[in-house]
Copies of this chain bind each other. A is one copy, B any other.
Amino acid sequence: MASPEPVAPPRRSRGAPALPATSVVFPGDERTAAALISAAVEVMAVHGYHGTSVRDIAAAAGVSPAVLYHHFASKQGLLATVLDRGMDVLVRATEEALYAAPDDPAARLEAIVGVHVRVHLESQRESLLGNSELRALEAGALALVVARRDTQQRMFDRVVRDGCARGVFTTPHPDDASRMITSACTAVAAWYRPGGPLTGDEIVARYQRVALDTVGYAPVGEPASGSSAQRFGGAGGER
């Protein structure tokens, strides 16, 4: 690999290693640490943790392999940082969406489904990593990430159960429907390709809509004849 660059000498002007900007890079991070995190997400999402070497990550970040150990305890520590931050971003975004949503089961479900799908669309590589490389985490870091994942699932469970208790959702299996929704939304990161026929907004809207069907959404006050389809889709040409 590492082919010679045809133009522009590899001279690095010091302290500007590579392109940052990922959802797991936080504003307070040092430049090189941010570049390493970003590079790790990029490369590990493709080849996996064990399929990616420290040299691969360092090369993608534009630094020497040894630099990694000045910013992280180990390759494992870098993975732990990425996964922990990724789950943190997801949970926080979901919490905020839930907090801002009105006291209505359908609106709440739409809110958290929207956030969940959007995060998995926009932070696709981080999500992919978080879903496939948990097994590469050592016990301590794994417990932290799993705890956050449970928190995320619990938020969905609560919304669906509440909707059922109020009679707005009619599914006889709230917890299973809830898990099926999160599973389906999480899987978006596995198939979505940025150049596809649907925009992110369209995908989000569709998943929100189908998720409401999944929980058996039946608006209160109206017994609703036929199906619940009429209550939806005021605007927009569906296809």
A191 to B134, CA, bound (A): 13
CB A196 to nearest CB in B, in angstroms, measures 12
Copies, count: 2
A225 to B223, CA, bound (A): 6
A135 to B47, Cβ gap below 8 A?
A: yes
B214 to A210, Cβ gap below 8 A?
A: yes
B173 to A209, Cβ gap below 8 A?
A: yes
Set of chain B residues within 8 Å of A136, measured between Cβ atoms: 48, 51
Set of chain B residues within 8 Å of A50, measured between Cβ atoms: 47-51
Set of chain B residues within 8 Å of A214, measured between Cβ atoms: 180, 210, 213-214
B207 to A176, Cβ gap below 8 A?
A: yes
Out of B171, B207, B227, name the residue touching A170 (CB < 8 Å): B227
A228 at the interface (CB under 8 A from B): yes
